[in-house]
Amino acid sequence: MRVQIYVIKVCGSWQARMTIHAEVDKHFWMDGLYGGSGRLNSDVAEAGWLLQEGMPLGDACLAVECWETAYSSKRLKTVIAERNKLAVERVDKLDHLNKFAAVFRNNGGSSVDDREAAELLIACVEQVKRQVEQEKADAGRRRWLQFGGRSKRQIKLGAERLMSLVERWERVAEGSEAGRRTWMEGAESREAMSGMRMEGAESGEAMSGMRMEVAEGSEAGRGMQMEGVESREAMSGTRMEGAEGREAMSGMRMEGATSREAMRGMRMEGAEGREAMSGMRMEGAESGEAMRGTRMEGATSREAMRGMRMEGAVRDEAERQMRVKRAELERIAAGAKRAAAMVQGRALLRSEAHALLSGAGSPGAAADWSAMLQLAALLGLVRLSGSIAAENGGQSGALGRRRRERRCLRCGSGEASQHRTACASCGRICAYCTACLGMGRSRECELLVTGQRSGLSGAEPCDAMMGKLPPIEQRLRKWQLSPAQTAAAVKALTFVEEAYTNGPHLPRGEPSSPREFLLWAVTGAGKTEMIFPLVEAVLLRGGKALIATPRRDVVIELDPRIRKAFPSAAVVTLYGGSEQRWESGDITLATTHQLLRFYQGFDLVVVDELDAFPFAGDPLLHYAADKSCAPGAARLLLSATPPSELQRAAKRGKLPHARVPVRYHRHPLPVPKLLQTPAVKQMLQQRKLPPKLLSALRTSLARGAQLFVFVQQIAQTEAMAALLRAALPCLAVAATSSQDAERADKVLRFRARDIRVLVTTTILERGVTIPKSDVYILDADGRLFDEASLVQMAGRAGRSADDPFGHVYFCSRERNRPQQQAVSHIRTMNRIARKQGYLLPSGKGGSHR
Amino acid sequence: MTVSPLAWLRRLHSAFAAGAQLLAPTSAACFLCGKPQSAARSVGSAVQTKLLRQLRESLCGDCLSAIPWLTRIACTRCGRGIPCEDCIRSPHGAFQFNRSAVHYNSAMREMLALYKYRGNEQLAPLLAAMLLPVFEAMTTEIILRTSRSQKPNTKSETRFTDCWDAVTYVPVSMERENERGFNQAEQLASRIANDYNLPLMQLLIRTRHTEKQSFKSRAERQRDTQSLFNVRADQLQRVYTRISNSTNERNKGQTVSRILLIDDIYTTGSTAEACSQALIDSAAWPIEMYILTWARS
């Protein structure tokens, strides 16, 4: 999209800004009053220049940046000053200055300053354009054709030329058009006018009454007395009105020559009328004179009234416009605040922001949204920028030319993911990010709306709240955790609450990396239950919690559990194609991809299964997870098999962590048994299962267990299922994989024991809990199964308290390192559990190892 | 054997390009499914050697073999793979015939959506590459049709420039172009025009912004496309000037000029029909319209 840029003089210094709706900016800076919403801008600008020409968003951001550096260093400024000198010398000096004066009609030195600012703005834009041209040329293969430094093109701008490029913004002065130009003044004068009109009507009636009396001549005496009383009342009313009117008028005096004169006239009339009335009252019984006086006064005030009425008619139109504008302003101001509240904590592309705002039933067309968003941006509630921006600086290329590296502000991907194409919406070559394309196209000229955090945060002092909250142990009781879970939860909860106790001392707004805590819990330890108290702690303080996991299946499975645990909280579940896409709640459950759409939105971020695909090894998702944390927020990393660098950091004490070495039912993890079997490929070719494996499978089936059979390749699943179906005394054998549309259904049937044997790939290695199950991992020496994966798959067995001793078999031709590591991992966990006394004593059906 | 310097230079250039290609990083992942290619590539490569290298390099074997090429055409007018009731019902349309590269099935729908709606413009060269063989076949077909008497020269290098007078595309509305950032038909057309050295012209403009065609029924589409396109007279005039100035053999004998209209998808043919009609109506000399689309539904 194309935007405009402008410079503005606030408190004596200039600043450049970019706008998607210039009208809003003009009013904000030059007036700052928004009807009923009051004054939104306390630093009204003195003057401004708006560049008439719209430019691509990316360029505009660059130009603003360029302006800032140039203005601060004054380098360009002096260049311009020199150029001006040259220009002045060359052109007739007087003529030049005259033009100046004619154009700006401004006082003395400030116009020079003004002009410099405007020229600097244009110079910056020119520079950006040149830079873009150069990049375009660089993109082509003509690089070697462009040796040598480019001579700086000088822009010579006459005053008219300048004025044709830029539009001048001036503060609303006491000019003739002031009333029409400023809305607030309009509002004031409108009140005054309506007051006056009422007054006019009243005194008009009084006058007409008097006139009638004059005509009725004969009954002048007594009748007049009565009338006198009446009109006295009317007049005292008028006097009051007059007093009010005077105030109104003093306010309105600012309003310019015509209205001022009218007002003055009216004030005079008011004075006359008042005098007349006082005279009338004084005269009282002397009705004849009073009558004469009244008649005279009546005549004059009738004229005044007529004049006022005419005046009123003239102003009526303007007034109506003012009212419309005022209403519009109020609407925009209210809309901006609402929009800011909705966008808060999010980072959205323009289309997404529009979808969000329109989803909430905000009225109006697209133009309105940009006005509201722009106002919100001016208020600092929202940040508007291109969604791909040039990084600051950049290294010099081989030819001494600076090359600006682009970075996607939404997903953090660098230059390597940027793909440049001709863009019809901005009219030049612009880059889009290929890394986060699946979440909507992030373009250089596409607007990124980032909600800024205001007030509400983890750093809020909560001392009063802290007093009210019961101690940690008491709060944990209601979740009924096992001893091992409780120990870890206490540790984690203390960590989370640190922010609240030390909150005010934390540096605010600093983009510090989030505080991380690793919760290393074995498979089936009840991780989800452990995060409940943490989520509760954040919710109790009015914060927002996010639970993110790489896999969509897990999100969907988690949803009912969270809703059950927090029946009163608003839970929003986000994944590709989620219905709740634009809702916001206390607890957000999302796939890690959805985090791209958030910005500092959460006080607690829980990343579940952080070592799982696609989160592991995707810098984009890590960036998104970092970005979604509010400053000072706690981030909880959950895993049964943390990546080795995290394990190391935890061991060295660099990463606060808690380890849960035992399952919630307090039985040890099943230790895998190693079976030597041929490769799956060979089994399939020979259409024969090895007897050792077959007997193990039969034993498992005989004990009534559900069987997981893991293979390496999707292609092998169906074939293996067919082979098993033929070999086993059980027909309920099914296969599933990531490419199976009926996967969810098959898992359900497996859980319901309609399917007894499920052949699958690593897709089901986590997040699935089947009560009584045994696990067979074929080709356990395969490339795709590493230690983490083996531990996870082994973790499918024995998860329920009813059947805590499931069987796990690693079937492979050779025992390799990952298998041994997995076995020793499981044994270590069991040993730690025993040492810490978390295991049930063997007498109660506990450990038999 | 004498080689003209220009041809020699061209060869040098292509040799250099090929050499540079060796150094270029091969894209590791398939453009469509995102899977690492190396594993899957071997599956299809033996069979698909005829296909363009560009396709083979950017797609994995599975995705490549999933492309439903329209090799056998049942309806010679609309290029459908099955006999076409529409064309039997109304055999005389404004355009001569349509040819499409692929049958529009769900996989292709997904591919087009990735490109058109998701905005993955990296697919543009791919889709355009898929058009090239069809374009060549189409050109040959026209040459064979028109010069049945003498032996046509279907192998000549200049047959494309001889055969076609202009390449144009179905326009999109300003609003859509702003929103999407590109016109898919234009991107396809520019590739064809570029590769075969044909003049690319924007002969049409869309007069109004309509809902996405893909949300509409057949009747709605046909009603909607009436008077939807305006001809840019200046551009059309350029075509005429080009023809009258050219020393092309074919144009000496006949004054009918052939214009190729490119679009991404042919569904009911109403867009193609409307565009062709608009052009034929406003051209001051006889023109023949041919349609080339990426997919035929």
Is residue B40 domain-resident?
Answer: no
Q: What are the contacts of A92-95 at 24+ separation with CB within 8 A?
A: none
Six-digit token string for A302:
């009738």
Is residue A22 domain-resident?
Answer: yes
Q: What is the pLDDT of residues A423-449, one digit of tens each?
A: 888 888 888 998 888 888 888 888 899
Look at residue B108 in the predicted model and tell me its pLDDT: 92
Q: What is the pLDDT of residues A25-44, one digit of tens each?
A: 888 888 877 777 777 777 77
- Looking up residue A631, the CATH number of its domain turns out to be 3.40.50.300
Is residue B74 domain-resident?
Answer: no
Strands (E), A576-653: 587-591, 602-607, 629-639
Of A425, A434, A437, the CB nearest to B181: A425
CA–chain centroid gap for A480, Å, is 37
- Looking up residue B117, the CATH number of its domain turns out to be 3.40.50
C-alpha distance from residue B245 to each of A351, A684, B239, B242 (Å): 48, 70, 10, 5
Is residue B136 domain-resident?
Answer: yes
Residue bearing tokens 């800024």: A452
Residues A710 and A811 in one domain: yes
Residues A300 and A379 in one domain: no
Average pLDDT over residues A471-482: 81
Residues A702 and A579 in one domain: no
d(CA B287, CA B279): 8
Average pLDDT over residues A488-512: 68
Across the interface, whether the CB atoms of B122 and A443 are under 8 A apart is answered: no
Across the interface, whether the CB atoms of B177 and A424 are under 8 A apart is answered: yes
Across the interface, whether the CB atoms of A425 and B178 are under 8 A apart is answered: yes
Six-digit token string for B132:
């090239």
d(CA A99, CA A158): 9
Closest CA to B213 of B259, B163, B170, B181: B170
Residues A734 and A803 in one domain: yes
Across the interface, whether the CB atoms of A437 and B118 are under 8 A apart is answered: yes
CA–chain centroid gap for A337, Å, is 13
Across the interface, whether the CB atoms of A421 and B183 are under 8 A apart is answered: no
Task: Provide the domain count of chain A.
Answer: 5
When scoring A354, A437, A443, A784 by the number of chain B Cβ atoms within 10 A, the one with the most, hence best to mutate, is: A437
Across the interface, whether the CB atoms of B122 and A422 are under 8 A apart is answered: no
When scoring A141, A429, A441, A620 by the number of chain B Cβ atoms within 10 A, the one with the most, hence best to mutate, is: A441
Across the interface, whether the CB atoms of A441 and B119 are under 8 A apart is answered: yes
Give me the DSSP letters along A196-252.
HHHHHHHHHHHHHHHHHHHHTGGGHHHHHHHHHHHHHHHHHHHHHHHHHHHHHHHHH
Q: Alpha-carbon dihedral of residues A782, A786, A787, A790, nearest 10 degrees?
A: -60
- Residues of A at the B interface (Cβ-Cβ below 8 Å)? 1, 351, 419, 421-425, 432, 434, 437-438, 441, 443
Of B118, B124, B183, the CB nearest to A424: B183
Look at residue A281 in the predicted model and tell me its pLDDT: 53
Closest Cα in chain B, distance from residue A574 (Å): 20
Whether the bond between A614 and the residue before it is cis, its omega within 30 degrees of 0, is yes
Of B119, B177, B180, the CB nearest to A437: B119
Look at residue B11 in the predicted model and tell me its pLDDT: 84
Across the interface, whether the CB atoms of A434 and B120 are under 8 A apart is answered: yes
Across the interface, whether the CB atoms of B181 and A443 are under 8 A apart is answered: yes
Across the interface, whether the CB atoms of A423 and B182 are under 8 A apart is answered: yes
Residue A428 phi, psi (nearest 5): -145, -175
CA–chain centroid gap for A721, Å, is 48
Which residues 6+ apart lie within 8 Å of A515 measured at CB?
A495, A498, A499, A632, A633, A634, A635
Is residue B54 domain-resident?
Answer: no
Q: Please state the ipTM of this predicted complex.
A: 0.77
Task: State whether residue A633 is helix, strand or coil.
Answer: strand
Look at residue B183 in the predicted model and tell me its pLDDT: 92
> Closest chain A residue to B124 measured between Cα atoms?
A421
Closest Cα in chain B, distance from residue A3 (Å): 13
Q: What is the pLDDT of residues A115-168, one digit of tens each?
A: 777 777 888 888 888 877 777 666 554 444 444 334 444 445 566 777 778 888
Q: Is the pLDDT of residue A266 over 80?
A: no
Q: Is the pLDDT of residue A492 over 60?
A: yes
Q: How many CA atoms lie within 13 A of A41 on its CB side?
A: 24
Size of interface A-B (CB pairs under 8 A): 35
Residue bearing tokens 């309920």: A732
Residues A194 and A298 in one domain: yes
DSSP H/E element including A279: helix A257-283
Is residue B254 domain-resident?
Answer: yes
CB contacts of B120 in chain A (<8 Å) are 434, 437
Closest Cα in chain A, distance from residue B177 (Å): 6
> Closest chain A residue to B116 measured between Cα atoms?
A441
Closest Cα in chain B, distance from residue A425 (Å): 4
Is residue B265 domain-resident?
Answer: yes
d(CA B124, CA A422): 12
> Closest chain A residue to B178 measured between Cα atoms?
A425
Across the interface, whether the CB atoms of A425 and B119 are under 8 A apart is answered: no
Q: Which residues of chain B have pLDDT under 50?
A: 39-48
Crossing angle of the two packed helices A183-215 and A287-343, in degrees rounded to 10: 160
Of B122, B177, B182, the CB nearest to A434: B122
d(CA A44, CA A690): 84
Of A424, A437, A438, the CB nearest to B181: A424
Residues A468 and A444 in one domain: no
CB contacts of A419 in chain B (<8 Å) are 121-122
- Beta bridge partners of residue A838, listed in sequence order: none
Closest Cα in chain B, distance from residue A805 (Å): 38
CB contacts of A1 in chain B (<8 Å) are 178
> Closest chain A residue to B32 measured between Cα atoms?
A438
> Closest chain A residue to B119 measured between Cα atoms?
A441
Domain finish residue from A389, A424, A452: A452
- Beta bridge partners of residue A448, listed in sequence order: A349, A385
Closest Cα in chain B, distance from residue A22 (Å): 20
Q: What is the pLDDT of residues A593-609, one digit of tens each?
A: 898 999 988 989 999 88
Residues A629 and A718 in one domain: no
Is residue B133 domain-resident?
Answer: yes
Is residue A268 domain-resident?
Answer: yes
Q: What's the one-letter identity of residue B139?
A: T
Domain finish residue from A136, A171, A206: A171
When scoring B13, B60, B178 by the number of chain A Cβ atoms within 10 A, the one with the most, hence best to mutate, is: B178
CA–chain centroid gap for A249, Å, is 45
Across the interface, whether the CB atoms of B121 and A421 are under 8 A apart is answered: yes
In percent, the amount of chain A with pLDDT more than 90 equals 18
Q: What is the pLDDT of residues A351-377, one digit of tens each?
A: 888 888 887 665 555 667 888 888 888
Residues A31 and A165 in one domain: yes
Q: What is the pLDDT of residues A638-660, one digit of tens each?
A: 998 898 888 899 889 889 999 89
Is residue A333 domain-resident?
Answer: no
d(CA A41, CA A26): 12
Six-digit token string for B39:
């594993």
Residue A148 phi, psi (nearest 5): 85, 155
Look at residue A468 in the predicted model and tell me its pLDDT: 62
Residues A260 and A238 in one domain: yes
Q: Is the pLDDT of residue A687 over 70?
A: yes
Residues A166 and A226 in one domain: no
Is residue B48 domain-resident?
Answer: no
d(CA B86, CA B92): 11
Closest Cα in chain A, distance from residue B120 (Å): 7
Q: Is the pLDDT of residue A326 over 50?
A: yes
Give the domain extent around B184. 85-149+161-208+219-296
Q: Is the pLDDT of residue A548 over 80?
A: yes
> Closest chain A residue to B172 measured between Cα atoms?
A424
Residues A309 and A379 in one domain: no
Across the interface, whether the CB atoms of B121 and A423 are under 8 A apart is answered: no
CB contacts of A447 in chain B (<8 Å) are none
Beta-strand pair A382-386/A447-451: antiparallel
CB contacts of A442 in chain B (<8 Å) are none
Residue A845 CB-density burial (10 A; 0-12 exposed, 13-18 middle, 19+ buried): exposed
Is residue A849 domain-resident?
Answer: no
Look at residue A292 in the predicted model and tell me its pLDDT: 60
Q: Is the pLDDT of residue A547 over 90?
A: yes
Task: State whether residue B261 is helix, strand or coil.
Answer: strand
Closest CA to A807 of A712, A725, A703, A733: A703
d(CA A636, CA B31): 35
Look at residue B265 in the predicted model and tell me its pLDDT: 92
- Residues of B at the A interface (Cβ-Cβ below 8 Å)? 118-122, 124, 177-183
Is residue A802 domain-resident?
Answer: yes
Look at residue A174 in the predicted model and tell me its pLDDT: 39
Q: What is the pLDDT of residues A170-192, one digit of tens each?
A: 776 433 333 334 334 444 444 44
CB contacts of B121 in chain A (<8 Å) are 419, 421, 432
Neighbours of A159 (CB within 10 A): 17
Residue A524 pLDDT grade (very low, low, confident, very high; cuts 50, 70, 90): confident
Is residue A330 domain-resident?
Answer: no
DSSP H/E element including A757: strand A757-760
Look at residue A341 in the predicted model and tell me its pLDDT: 85
Give the domain extent around A648. 463-660
3-state helix, strand, coil in chain B (%, to 5): 50, 15, 35
C-alpha distance from residue B216 to each of A7, A22, A203, A606, B90 (Å): 47, 38, 67, 44, 21
Neighbours of A361 (CB within 10 A): 6
Of A419, A421, A437, the CB nearest to B182: A421
> Closest chain A residue to B115 measured between Cα atoms?
A437
Average pLDDT value for chain A: 75
Across the interface, whether the CB atoms of A425 and B120 are under 8 A apart is answered: no
Six-digit token string for A439:
């979440």
Six-digit token string for B181:
């950032």
Closest CA to A344 of A20, A599, A543: A599
d(CA A117, CA A17): 13
Average pLDDT over residues A492-509: 65
Task: Provide the domain count of chain B.
Answer: 1
Domain finish residue from A634, A660, A686: A660
What value does the CA radius of gyration of chain B take, rounded to a whole number of Å? 20
Across the interface, whether the CB atoms of A434 and B119 are under 8 A apart is answered: no
Is residue A339 domain-resident?
Answer: no
d(CA A404, CA A688): 61
Residues A730 and A810 in one domain: yes
Is residue A328 domain-resident?
Answer: no
